[in-house]
A and B are shown apart, each in its own frame.
Chain A
Amino acid sequence: MYRGREGQWAFLLHRLSGLAILSYLLLHVFSIGSFIFGERFYMAIHHTYDLWPFRIGLVFITAGVVYHAFNGLRIIVMDFTGAGVAYQRQMWYGVMVLSVLSALYAAYHLYPRLIGGF
């Protein structure tokens, strides 16, 4: 059964994380690329991105990228091996554990910034 089981959530999360990463990428290219307009413009954007919702968002984007990367590997393994299909549920739980761990690691590592900003 696919509906309502791990496979469906893996698919949905893969799409959502992919769209989230793409929107982050568009903002990221704009904000980093804005250095061509000079330091004042660049810093004005980066002070806006220093608001707390964006700082917390960075932890989620790390977890989202890790999820998308390792779930993508899971998809590739499923596409090319039969064993990958047989163990897709177990692999998905592995992917979820990796994503949660990397979110925790990023939050721990960036704790001073999460609390205090730059």
Chain B
Amino acid sequence: MIRARTFMDARQQSHSNAELNWWIFMRISGLILIFLILGHIYMTFIQVSEADATFDAVVSKLSNPAWKFYDWLILALSLMHGANGARYSIEDYVRSRPNRAWVKGLFYTVIAVVFAFGTIGLFSI
């Protein structure tokens, strides 16, 4: 049971292991993303000729709910996987604490905006 009055108390008393959970998440989402993304690259980049990748082709493909779900799954999983991976790099290479705070804040904001934009785009058709 956590009886904390300040953030530091809460941190000292918390037993959750967020880093372990992220470590597990990176392995599991990575395994899923291998199939999702290699399939996506093959189907939309290698198999299809570039002249076919028009505005109308994108709109008609995304009108199918199955592709909508497939693409949204890629969007959500790869943004979380990528954001956490970049967080590792930021924590390793941005050495001063104030710099790390604003770099992370800016970075998470960009990720959130892109996720919202992609989701709105996918489900607006």
Query: A residues within 8 Å of B by Cβ?
Result: 15, 18-19, 21-22, 25-26, 29-30, 32-36, 39, 42-43, 58, 62, 65-66, 69, 72-73, 75-76, 79, 105-106, 109-110, 113, 118
Chain A CB within 8 A of B58 CB: yes
Q: Is the interface of A mostly helix, strand, loop or mixed?
A: helix
Contact present for B120 and A35 (CB under 8 Å): no
In the complex, chain A residues whose CB is within 8 Å of the CB of B50: 110, 113, 118
On whether A19 and B117 interact (CB within 8 A), knowing A35-B59, A65-B41, A76-B31, the answer reads no
Which of B3-11, B14-22, B79-87, B94-102 makes up part of the contact surface?
A: B79-87
In the complex, chain B residues whose CB is within 8 Å of the CB of A62: 41, 45
Q: Which of A26, A65, A76 interacts with B110 by CB under 8 Å?
A: A26
Chain A CB within 8 A of B12 CB: no
In the complex, chain A residues whose CB is within 8 Å of the CB of B121: 29, 32-36
- Chain B: residues with Cβ within 8 Å of the partner, total of 33
In the complex, chain B residues whose CB is within 8 Å of the CB of A65: 37-38, 41
In the complex, chain A residues whose CB is within 8 Å of the CB of B34: 69, 72-73
Contact present for B58 and A76 (CB under 8 Å): no
Chain A CB within 8 A of B46 CB: yes
A48 to B120, CA, bound (A): 24
Q: What are 11 A-B contacts defined by CB distance under 8 Å? A: A19-B85, A22-B85, A25-B79, A36-B120, A36-B121, A62-B45, A65-B41, A66-B38, A79-B27, A109-B46, A113-B50
